[in-house]
Structure 1
Amino acid sequence: MTTESFDLYPVTRLAAVREATAKAGLDALLLTPGADLRYVTGYSALPLERLTCLVVPAEGDAFLMVPRLELAAAEHSPASRLGVEFVPWDETDDPYAHVAARLGSPAAVGLADHMWAMQSLRFRAAMPAAEQILAGTALAPLRMRKSPAEAAALREAGAAIDAVHAQVPGLLRAGRTEREVGRDIADAIIASGHASVDFVIVGSGPNGASPHHDLSDRVIEAGDVVVVDIGGTMPSGYCSDSTRTYSVGEPPADFTAYYEVLRRAQDAACAAVRPGVSCESIDAAAREVIAEAGYGDLFIHRTGHGIGIETHEEPYIVAGNTEPLAPGYAFSVEPGIYLAGRHGARIEDIVICGEQEGERLNNRPRELIVV
């Protein structure tokens, strides 16, 4: 089943957002270009110094402030199906004052989580009595629970990035640089059906011990372990993210000793996924296996992050997050072990919580692949 079988931006979503706004104690949400606006409307507006802002009052009708020169783009976006009023503004207008006048005297407004500081401060000046709160207070509970359409989009993304990992063994060989391999992987991400490349990590040898290493001109050598973490955004707007670890020839003995521990830890965390268990318990399931084997100090990051229209979004799979999983929650499970200056390893799958258990959306082999 493909994402075309579903509606990723149903008209009912706006009503749910309005209800969530009221439940969060906010008078309105102010959503500027970015993930929050895309989630509610499907409109991928350009982030400009000119204000584009969807205003969703807790009571009353939503409206979209849009620069007149961007009106045609807005009208041709999925936002046109929602029945919201489009309010074009001209170069000499003050759109912030217009929003303030329409809202009256709000006590609290929710700002898009990634709103530019420039825009936040202008809203503060236009509505000085309004407390500013992150819109995520209202939107996160909605965005975390993926609809059937969103789950289908994430499955599609998972299959596409799996197809790229299937090509990686043919790209890794001694004598090539990380950057050369990375360029080939980026091309493969687009060829697999992604609309854009979000990141390509090729961490060879000691660079694999840096979880967010990018690409460098380091030449891959025989015996190197290589961490390959890649992802992109599909035409649907939903993201992929998957990590596999490879070895160019036989790996070092100390690496082999901990890689199997890592694989068991990742399996344990994936197996623990089911409705009602806390996010931190998934983190603990992976961390306990690694700690018991004596590598606890070498697992230096959280076990995972939510994924959807952003690569990193809620829920975060980390100690202290007591949020209980619910059907539709989608997130990465990616424990890692890193020996600074020598090598590292990470195994990452996207998992979605079902009605009874978790479903892995990435299905490439998790055993070490020696090329």
Structure 2
Amino acid sequence: MPQKELDQAVQARVEKWIRSDIQSLKAYQVADASGLIKLDAMENPYIWGEELKQQWLAEMQQQSLNRYPDPAGTRVVAGLKEVFGIDQRYELLLGNGSDELIQIIIAALAADNLTVLSPEPSFVMYEMIAKFLRVNYVGVPLGNDFKLDLTAMLDAIEAYQPGVVFLAQPNNPTGNLFGEEKVRRVIEASPGLVVIDEAYLAFAECNALTLLADYSNLLVMRTLSKVGLAGLRLGFLVGHPGWITELNKVRLPYNINQLTQASTQFALANYHQLAEQINQLVTDREQLFESLQQLEGITVWPSQANFLLFRSHTIPAKELHQALIKERILIKCLDGVHPLLTGCLRVTVGAPAENEAFLKALTAILS
């Protein structure tokens, strides 16, 4: 078949068989960071030292890739419980990043016209995965300075009776906490599950695990991506065995590969190295925040995560974003993502030299 006819035939079948709502979506975009200082994806900028790297490589050489991995990730679960002080009465479910866990949770819930609810702006995958699974999604706008509008949240919960509410603590992309009192009110008002997403817990002064003993409808979701292990794609869900047992039935077998499991075990055994990097990033975050505060035409919000959200008042955000790219600095432009993010950009806290390069370029562009 000639190429042109083949292309036309494929397109005709795509239009017939791929859901129309999927055809109308855009795939999740990841910017090309080649040759740029990468400050757009909330990654830990630090790498392991040579000695630790060689020890890790030695561990990798012992892995048998001809065999399937442990389907339950038993040793990984034990390591996570030990390092993060998770009570033995709770069970863990491992996911290929938080994204898979969100998908598992939504897919497992039973309700006609199921609704997923979240404050917004927040992590985009709550809405995207709900749409992929043909589930209703309701976003409740945050209030002034991105605080949780408790009245609006409670009204929405009453109106939509959601099967699951996602609360990111700290919130992405705003970096703030909603406060324990408000979180408790949301949990108590919710008829279905509440999932507290603690992806940025390492950089924050909060811990939702203490709430698990108080509520029967709560799960806590975490990830190792932000602490320096983004390449492993390892997320985990903590909760009462009654919930985890059922959700585990939806998890595809062998979802966490052998090298990820072995690397996670090694990283957890050396977690003190990651903890030192986290402490450094928190210090650098505060210094970067103070520097941004001093720039004219910029409003920056305090953060409990490893990134800072700021608004440009004098230069359009998209223009500023492109100007930074010309200076070899890649950050995230959020203008147009949500009305509350008009004029906003998000910068990941990098190593000191990266932060300095960002500030120097930004200052020059604004002047």
If the length of structure 2 is used for normalisation, what is the TM-score? 0.23
Query: Whose strand fraction is larger, Structure 1's or Structure 2's?
Result: 1
The higher-RCO structure (CA 8 Å, 6+ apart) is 2
Query: Whose helix fraction is larger, Structure 1's or Structure 2's?
Result: 2
